[in-house]
Amino acid sequence: MNAIYLCAIAHPWIEVSKKLASEYNIKPCYFVHWQSDKKEYFKSSLKNCYLQSLEDAWKGLGFPSDIDRYIFDEEELKSIAYYELIALKMMERLDPDGQSFPFTTRLYFFRDLLGYWFNVIESREIDLVISPSIPHRVFDYALYVVCKMRNIKFVMFQLTPFGSNSILIDDIDAMPIVAEDKTTRPIPSESIQRKIAEVQGDYSKAIPSYMRKHEDNSKRSYTLSPLPHVKKLLRSYRLTTSSPNTYWIENGFSPNETKYSWNDFYAMQAKRNKMVSTFVQFYERITVADSPEKFILVALHYQPEETSCPTGGAYSDQILMIQLLNQYLPDDITIIVKEHKTQFYSHVESASGRSLLFYRRIAQISSRIKFVSVDYDPFKLIDQAQAVVTISGTIGWESAIRGTPTLTFGRAWYEGMPRVFKVKTKADLVDALPQLPEQKNKDLQDTIMRFHAALEDNFIHAKHYKAYLNNDDVTMEKSVTNIVNYLGRVIN
């Protein structure tokens, strides 16, 4: 069995690939790795294994020189039209100002990626792709789509908020069924119980770590001192022999042609900062101070990111969710929309995921749609709401734990949990709405605990991804063992 390892950090994946080869005959043929790990991979003695840096892959570069692009005909393109639409939306993360990466260039880029991966799979006789994360960087999503076309097994790790624990899945649109009746434990481990208890308390103590990190970085980026900005200007003139490490697209060029100078890079950063300021000012003008008596909360996702695209499918266009809610909700229920706070942090990729048209279009759907401040306590909104609506966000899990039903329009790691309704069709929505009142504040503590115990039975406890590297709940050696044992058992 020949395998591609996608976006794999050197440790633990070099050792994992060797063990899977020796113990399960899963031969590593191709690695997409971070540039910072290049030396580790070259020293690893992975025989007959092609190495491509993740930084090159972002731009559609670094494919084997003997590989040409496969050209698709109309029938083949029809078969992947749904995925292509998602990919075009996904490319917002490469478009720094929302204007530099137009439709036609995006289409060329994605079809080129598909063509390269199609022939990589053919020439290397690939049987399996292993991805430590959900593919969401365009180049990895293109590989996922080709695997769908060719019926190649693609396994990926869904992260959870419980330390270094992930769940293995093989379909972006579906989670494994959690068999609560088969678990031998009525309650999950103490660490998960503590996490649940945090969510049942005050929001100040339950703020996700990534939110705290974004806020800290945002405060540093808005320092009043002019020194950092002066240093940037000096750096742009000093570093004439290098270029910034970015996957942003330069207006008028394709990704593989783009070469930002430091001056152009900082000019684009300034443009993005100005854009975000405009969004903030507009959003603050349309917010209301108080929430109505009866409402459903729509918690928008920070975009562009994996949790909405590709995880949401067509609902990565979050306006579609609100349009459907407006069509089917009773007239006496207000729709409260809350923007994700990270969307207004210009140091992250968020600037390219919004426009003023986005907010205007939502407001124009109906007069019963109201916006609230990004600083509004989400737990207070959850407790007051009739239901919470999200694609796959953590707020949906928090809501269900606190007693408010959740509607998820994408694949959430917690789907199947009591009080959580997955909505993909109008029929799903019509079926779920009458059930919401009886689910509100119903005592489901025992079944929620049992769900988490069953979910825990499916965990892979390992530092398999960059976001987990600083965790101290599992060693790297143990991570290798856990990944090898789990993958070997599942794949074979």
Task: Give the three-state DSSP class for 236.
Answer: helix
Q: Kindly calculate the radius of gyration of the chain based on its CA atoms and give it in whole angstroms.
A: 23
CATH code, 2-176+459-491 = 3.40.50
Can you give the pLDDT at residue 223? 43
pLDDT (0 to 100) of residue 457 = 93
Q: 3-state SS string over 395-453?
A: HHHHHHHHCCCEEECCCCCCCCCCCEEECCCHHHHHHHHHHHHHHCCCCCHHHHHHHHH
Predicted local distance difference test score (pLDDT) of residue 339: 97
What pLDDT tens digit does each residue of the chain (492 aa) get? 999 999 999 999 999 999 999 999 999 999 999 999 999 999 998 878 999 999 999 999 999 999 999 999 999 999 999 999 999 999 999 999 999 999 999 999 999 999 999 999 999 999 999 999 999 999 999 999 999 999 999 999 999 999 999 999 999 999 998 877 778 889 999 999 999 999 999 987 777 765 555 565 555 454 444 455 445 545 544 444 578 988 999 999 999 999 999 999 999 999 999 999 999 999 999 999 988 989 999 999 999 899 999 999 999 999 999 999 999 999 999 999 999 999 998 878 777 789 999 999 999 999 999 999 999 999 999 999 999 999 999 999 999 999 999 999 999 999 999 999 999 999 999 999 999 999 999 999 999 999 999 999 999 999 999 999 999 999 999 999 999 999 999 887
Same fold, 2-176+459-491 and 197-208+287-452: yes
As a residue count, the chain comes to 492
Q: Which amino acid, 238? A: R
For residue 367, the model assigns a pLDDT of 96
Q: How far apart are CA 7 and CA 465, in angstroms?
A: 9
Closest CA to 367 of 331, 397, 400: 331
The residue to which tokens 């598909």 are assigned = 114
Going from the C-alpha of 428 to that of each of 32, 171, 297, 325, 375, the distances in angstroms are: 39, 20, 18, 12, 32
Q: Domain extents for the chain?
A: 2-176+459-491, 197-208+287-452
Instruction: Give me the pLDDT at residue 236, please.
Output: 46
pLDDT, residue 222, reads 44
Rounded Cα distance between 409 and 430, Å, is 13
pLDDT on residue 225: 43
- Tally Cβ neighbours within 10 Å of residue 56: 15
Cα 65–chain centre separation: 31
Cα–Cα dist 178/124, whole Å? 35
The fold of 197-208+287-452 is: Rossmann fold (3.40.50)
Q: The whole model's pTM is what?
A: 0.93
